[in-house]
Chain A
Amino acid sequence: MSASGLTLPRPFRRGRASRAPVAGGAGGLGLGISVLWLSLIVLLPLAAVVAKSLDGGLDTFWHAVSNRQSVAALRFTMEVSVVVAIVNAVMGTLVAWVLVRDEFPGKRVVNALIDLPFALPTIVAGIVLLALYGHDSPVGIDIAFTQTAVAVALLFVTLPFVIRSVQPVLIELDKEMEEASASLGAGSFTTFRRIILPNLTPAILSGAALAFARAVGEFGSVVLISGNKPFDTQVAPVFVYKQIESDNPIGAAAVSVILLLLSLIVLIGIRYFERWGSRHED
């Protein structure tokens, strides 16, 4: 795509070598403190989880992650998160499109409200959805304690990711390319598929990956609405919580390690999409 002349005006290119000293404004001391801070707050506890999961040896670890209930919880978590990521990719792109290219009264308010799921505590999100889609739903839609309910809760908390990652790219997108495509006789769907979508793909993918990561780890919004039924609506984070509550720390740690691995894979994936996206800009 970069060969087709899509060059965005950027006052500053990323990654330009600066003439700053080695650790810049913060100095070597700043680097040292940063590493210490991250080690103490983030790395030490995560190391403790890994260590705990191996407390009883590899056999115990394997048993803890391969028993039927853990597998069912991990599997449902993965499946529902993939569905949520896909719905987000489609609906998020659509909403972003409407917010950037359409004009209607109240657009600014709608745009501001997109961030509401980031600002609203997750437990409140769960309560809010149960009020409309729970047992005493005013519209008679009761999906409480179903897999659908879990998906809806996850869609609520992950709503902003794709929208907020696609919006800026769409704003900066060069309209001349689209006009050229239209003047050469392409219909609006063809222009979208051949011109716009390829430019948006990295942003859509990194937004969807963030949504996926968030969905896999989500706890607050699903703990009430899922009903936590093993082999049905039980998601992995709630499973971990129940294990620690019933005094099975090794089981909790083992499933947590699987969740940690998933997080790492997604983070690496996002980094890859971002690099791909910035290549598009050049």
Chain B
Amino acid sequence: MRTDRKTRWGLRLVALLYLALLLLIPVGVVLYRTFEPGIGAVWDSVTTPAAVHAFQLTLTATVITVPLVTVFGVLLALVLARGRFPGKPLLEAVVDLPFAISPVVVGIALIFVYGRTGWFGQDLADAGIQVIFSLPGIVIATVFVCLPFVAREVTPVLREVGDEQEQAAATLGASGWQTFWRITLPAIRWGVAYGVVLSTARAVGEFGAVSVVSGKIAGETETLTLLVEKRFNNFDLAGAYAASALLALIALVTLMAMTLIKPRREEA
């Protein structure tokens, strides 16, 4: 469509203004406010014992969650892209469910299963295992919300590359594992990488589900995002901004990884 100069400039202006007001200026203001008191104050604020513990907890939950959702995500993608079985649309819909469900609903659902009065509450208590208000609950909640990313990124890649090479490998006598490691995985690696980046960002940033199941116990079950909320509610604005800036930094790294991986993923 040939647009005249005036229309093109008008559209560009509206689009950039919208993005600036909604995205860039607010993020810029927070970064400015964060570093206004100087980088030393920010450093002190993100290295208090509570902040360090929150950072470690977030990291632990992420490090457990991401490999789990990656392995099962690739498996789900293989089943969805290559399998032929009745009920496949239903399976696909269940994989998508965590995208559409409120994180708060995820949190209370886990309480109804693993909480003190939940379905498995008594059995878990008898076995001396605490899920809710402790690390396992945080991990299960994070796994729930991160579940679709790898599967959703890898499924279309598997469909695009087809299965001719896999068939050839099998004909030449390769076992299922050999075919997977030497043929399938190299073909889908950028799709997997993209899914891992998205899962990591979501795991680090998860708030709603974790805030329900964690109990927000300071120094114990307080993740980085929960610390931001607590500091904000306690009128510790500078502290909230500093912790936010740390999370924003992680988001920025994520964004760069996404930008680098995206074109490679599309080449595949």
Contact = CB atoms under 8 A, between A and B. Distances in A.
Given A95-B15, A97-B11, A18 B23 contact: no
B182 interface: no
A102 to B, nearest CB: 5
Interface string B138-155: 001001100100000000
Interface string A91-103: 1001101110110
A124 B244 contact: yes
Nearest to A262: B100
A237 B160 CA distance: 38
B64 interface: no
A169 to B, nearest CB: 14
B30 to A, nearest CB: 5
A276 B244 CA distance: 41
Nearest to B1: A178
B176 interface: yes
Contacts of A83: none
Nearest to B253: A119
Given A38-B94, A41-B143, A102-B8, A132 B207 contact: no
Contacts, number: 298
A110 B19 contact: yes
A89 B229 CA distance: 31
Contacts of B99: 210, 213-214
B56 interface: no
Interface string A211-227: 00110111110011000
Interface class of chain A by DSSP: helix
B24 A219 contact: no
Contacts of A195: 1
B221 interface: no
A129 B105 contact: no
A1 interface: no
B244 A219 contact: no
Interface string B198-209: 100100111110
Contact of B22 (A30, A31, A159, A217): A159
Nearest to B151: A34
Contact of A42 (B97, B176, B204): B97
Interface in A112-142: 112-124, 127-129, 131-133, 138
Contacts of B233: 224
Interface string B236-268: 000011001001100110111011000000000
A78 interface: no
B81 interface: yes
Nearest to A39: B94
A95 B144 contact: no
B81 A240 contact: no
B208 A122 contact: yes
A127 B1 contact: no
B109 A159 contact: no
B205 A104 contact: no
A188 interface: yes
Contacts of A43: 94
A48 B112 CA distance: 6
Nearest to A24: B82
B100 A22 contact: no
A266 B78 contact: no
Contacts of B12: 98, 102, 104
Given A121-B225, A131-B26, A188-B7, A267 B104 contact: no
A82 interface: no
Contact of A182 (B2, B27, B159, B247): B2
Given A33-B75, A240-B108, A44 B19 contact: no
B98 interface: yes
B104 A24 contact: no
A256 B176 CA distance: 43
Given A31-B83, A138-B29, A48 B11 contact: no
Q: Which 5 A-B pairs have the closest CB atoms?
A: A24-B82, A121-B205, A217-B102, A45-B109, A219-B208
24 contacts: A22-B84, A24-B78, A24-B79, A24-B82, A34-B75, A35-B91, A37-B72, A41-B147, A51-B112, A91-B18, A94-B14, A115-B258, A116-B251, A116-B255, A122-B225, A124-B205, A124-B225, A128-B30, A131-B33, A132-B26, A188-B1, A217-B104, A240-B102, A253-B108
Interface of B: 1-4, 7-8, 11-12, 14-16, 18-19, 22-27, 29-30, 33, 72, 75-76, 78-79, 81-85, 89, 91, 93-113, 118-119, 140, 143-144, 147, 159-160, 162-163, 166-167, 176, 179-180, 184, 198, 201, 204-208, 211-212, 225, 228-229, 232-233, 240-241, 244, 247-248, 251-252, 254-256, 258-259
Interface of A: 11-12, 14, 18-20, 22-27, 30-31, 33-35, 37-38, 41-46, 48-49, 51-52, 91, 94-95, 97-99, 101-102, 104, 110, 112-124, 127-129, 131-133, 138, 152, 155-156, 159, 175, 178-179, 181-182, 188, 191-192, 195-196, 210, 213-214, 216-220, 223-224, 236-238, 240-241, 244, 249, 252-253, 256, 259-260, 263-264, 266-268, 271
